A and B are shown apart, each in its own frame.
Chain A
Amino acid sequence: MIRLSGIVKRFGDAPALKGVELSVAEGSVTALIGPSGSGKSTLLRCVNLLEVPQQGRVQVGDEAISFDDTPRPSREAIRRLRRQSGMVFQSFQLFPHQNVVQNVAESLVTVLDWTREEAEAHSLDLLKKVGMAHKAREWPANLSGGQQQRVAIARALAASPKVLLCDEPTSALDPELAAEVVDVLRRLAAEGTTMLMATHDLRLAATIAHQVVFLEDGEIRESGSAQHIFTQPKHPRTQAFVSTLRETVLEDWSI
């Protein structure tokens, strides 16, 4: 469903991604883990081209763009590729001037030209799915962080994207609020939503990811099943990183 090949991204002279290869199968969940600055957020943002790579090829669903050839891809091509995915941000980024149901309906009304009635009916269904239908007429500012993130998930799914991208979806939340977001993401995964997420949240990665990818310095060091990466990582850097993640939970805690 997602196929990234040879992705190179530099910010000025600083390389952020050094030729990354990654595939995410339809209906599967992949978690990107790694230290801050490892490039996991950048990689995620290359999938919907919020960051445009200098080299490589990005394929999402049926759309693909190669960045190796000049001229640069057209804005229209970028938008087509972008519409294959929805994104959830660490800081939610709901539209503060729109109420909950308007937030979710926005892509349908503005981008896909649905009527407001149809769009809001569809949005209410999605809000039910994330347990937020009772707040449909509320302003985002009046919701808890967990509630805002659940609305943001509904908004990301509104236009029926092929893939859901999540950039640290629980990092701005306290554990209790994070749990309600993890719960929603777990249910979406069980329904077969294809997901790619960057996360520091061990619980999130361990409980719902089929594939875990460890990135460091813009390169993939190791990837495998969640169980493999978290219990018997091969690469010494993965071992060190996973052990620091595990130190944050009880010592006798096992996955």
Chain B
Amino acid sequence: MPHWLSLMVDSFWPLLYAGVVFTVPLTLLSFAGGLLLGFAVALARLFGPSPLVKVARFYVWFIRGTPLLVQLFVIFYGLPNIGIVLDAFPAALIGFTLNVGAYTSEVIRAAIASVPRGQWEAAYSIGMSWTQAMRRTILPQATGLAVPPLSNSFISLIKDTSLAAALTVPEIFQAAQRIASVTYEPFILYSETALIYLFFSSVLSSAQTRLEARFGRHSSPLGAAG
């Protein structure tokens, strides 16, 4: 077995392990949390009272206007100065959740707002309350619109979790750095790492196709008529 191949085989399991134990949970948990947060922020911006709208807008403005890496550093390295000490994984989780929440809130807001007003009126006209109309009529349609852009956020997030290496979270990229620092083979190691990210993002995002099929089944190929 050539040297480069045995190096890749030897480092494959540590990298995969880091992916399964840290990258995947970090991605799934922060995306789930970010979606919930994004939904709440979207509702606040669309339907909330004016002070809440302002808070929501400030949050989105702040998160989208600052680098993710800086946000993570503030949470993990900065907060201890004011007495809030977090372990690396929870700190990363909070950082990614806040970040995902800001971006997805815009997607969700746009999706909800793009369901025609007539659909609300139709729902009200058959006696539904606001909550029923939202749950039964508006959200199912908004979901179909939001799936493709949310999938984009999700794939970005998988790759962005590599930034957690800087917070000492032993995820894929951190494992790669560790191995590279003792083997002195960065080209092989980081190329393999790229392939492993490719593998995880392909597996995790394969759900997108199924989701789009699920929410697109009522449309004709050229989009809904009428």
Interface positions of A (Cβ within 8 A of B) = 48, 50, 75, 79, 82-83, 85-87, 89, 91-99, 106-107, 110-112, 139-143, 145, 148, 155-156, 158-159, 165
Contacts and interface: CB of A to CB of B under 8 A. Distances in A.
A155 B128 CA distance: 13
B158 to A, nearest CB: 29
Given A97-B140, A141-B218, A111 B118 contact: no
16 contacts: A50-B125, A75-B130, A85-B125, A86-B126, A89-B121, A95-B137, A96-B218, A107-B127, A110-B132, A110-B136, A111-B126, A140-B218, A141-B218, A141-B225, A159-B126, A159-B127
A50 B121 contact: yes
Interface string B116-127: 101101111111
Nearest to B135: A110
A50 B218 contact: no
Contacts of A111: 126-128, 132
Given A141-B220, A142-B220, A159-B127, A95 B122 contact: yes
Contacts of B215: 97
A107 B25 CA distance: 41
Max count, chain B CB within 10 A of own CB: residue among A96, A98, A139, A143: A96
A223 B140 CA distance: 44
B163 to A, nearest CB: 37
A142 B137 CA distance: 19
Contacts of B121: 50, 87, 89, 93
Contact of B126 (A75, A139, A148, A156): A156
A187 to B, nearest CB: 22
Contacts of B123: 95
Given A96-B219, A110-B136, A48 B118 contact: no
B226 interface: yes
The 6 closest A-B pairs by CB, nearest first: A107-B126, A93-B122, A87-B125, A111-B127, A141-B224, A93-B118
Contacts of A142: 220, 225
A98 B144 CA distance: 13
Interface in B186-219: 215, 218-219
Given A95-B137, A97-B144, A141-B219, A82 B122 contact: no
Contact of B226 (A110, A112, A141): A141
B168 to A, nearest CB: 45
A26 to B, nearest CB: 21
Contacts of A99: 218
Contacts of A92: 226
B129 interface: yes
Nearest to B217: A139
A85 to B, nearest CB: 8
A143 B220 CA distance: 11
Tell me which of A93, A141, A145, A156 has the highest count of chain B C-beta atoms within 10 A of its own C-beta: A93
Contacts of A91: 118, 226
B105 interface: no
Contact of B125 (A75, A94, A97, A156): A156
B104 interface: no
A148 B125 contact: no
A158 B122 CA distance: 13
Nearest to A76: B129
A106 B220 contact: no
Given A50-B121, A89-B118, A110-B132, A158 B126 contact: yes
B99 interface: no
B97 interface: no
A141 B116 CA distance: 15
A83 B127 CA distance: 5
